Amino acid sequence: MISVPLSVRFFVATGTAAALVGCSSGSDSGGRAEPEPSTPAATTQTTAATEDAAQRGYLAAVNALCDDLLPKVLKATHGGSIDVPASEWVQTWPAHKALLDGFDADLAKVTVPPSAADDAQVMTAYVAWATGVDERRIEAARQGEQTWRAEVAAEADIENDPPLLALGPAGFADSCQAR
């Protein structure tokens, strides 16, 4: 006996039932299937499901960009640590910046459905915040080791900054922190 997963059996049974229902006709319909009356609750459920799917699609698209970015940033920055000499940060910055700019360009191409507007705002706020962090870092690194070390020390509790903390609850993957 071939083992068929329950989800496949349900799909086949549902499809068969739908085909049978679609083939039946009422006596006064002239062979045409009559549309089922829609109710406000059914319309609301359908709309909510569509909006939910659109929001999930947006998050999936952005998370895929983040998942693609993370290993590239790790490679370009020799592991992604800021516990490096200032000269190394300056040396890796052009490749790192090119990756971030590419991500930002790709992110701008992702369609934001109305149901994902709040999520998109979280990502926009995060990108602005992360850009500021990067600008402070490169400026400090270019000024020399002492300024660089002071900037690194000033970031001791950066993990508690609200734009960073907002990513997870909004549905963004941890890999988005690579931006």
Please compute the mean of the pLDDT values over residues 9-35 and round it to a whole number: 43
Nearest Cα to Cα of residue 76 among 59, 93, 58: 93
Residue 13 lies in a domain: no
pLDDT given for residue 50 in this prediction: 75
Instruction: Name the domain count of the chain.
Output: 1
Mean pLDDT: which of 1-5, 10-14, 47-51, 83-87 is highest?
Answer: 83-87
pLDDT given for residue 77 in this prediction: 95
Burial of 146 (0-12, 13-18, 19+ CB in 10 A): exposed
Count the neighbouring beta carbons within 10 Å of the beta carbon of residue 30. 8
Residue 26 lies in a domain: no
Residue 124 lies in a domain: yes
Residue 173 lies in a domain: yes
- For residues 144 and 133, the answer to whether their CB atoms sit within 8 Å is no
pLDDT given for residue 111 in this prediction: 96
Residue 110 lies in a domain: yes
pLDDT given for residue 57 in this prediction: 97
Residue 58 lies in a domain: yes
Burial 154-164 (b: 16+ CB within 10 A, else e): eeeeeeeeebb
Please compute the mean of the pLDDT values over residues 146-153 and round it to a whole number: 98
Which structural domain range is residue 133 located in? 54-178
Residue 39 lies in a domain: no
pLDDT at 27 over 60: no
Residue scoring higher pLDDT (50 or 149): 149
Residue 134 lies in a domain: yes
- Rounded distance between C-alpha atoms, residue 55 and residue 121, angstroms: 13
pTM (predicted TM-score): 0.72
Angle at 125 between CA 119 and CA 131, to 5 degrees: 135
| Mean predicted lDDT score pLDDT of the chain | 83
Rg (C-alpha) for the chain, rounded Å, is 25
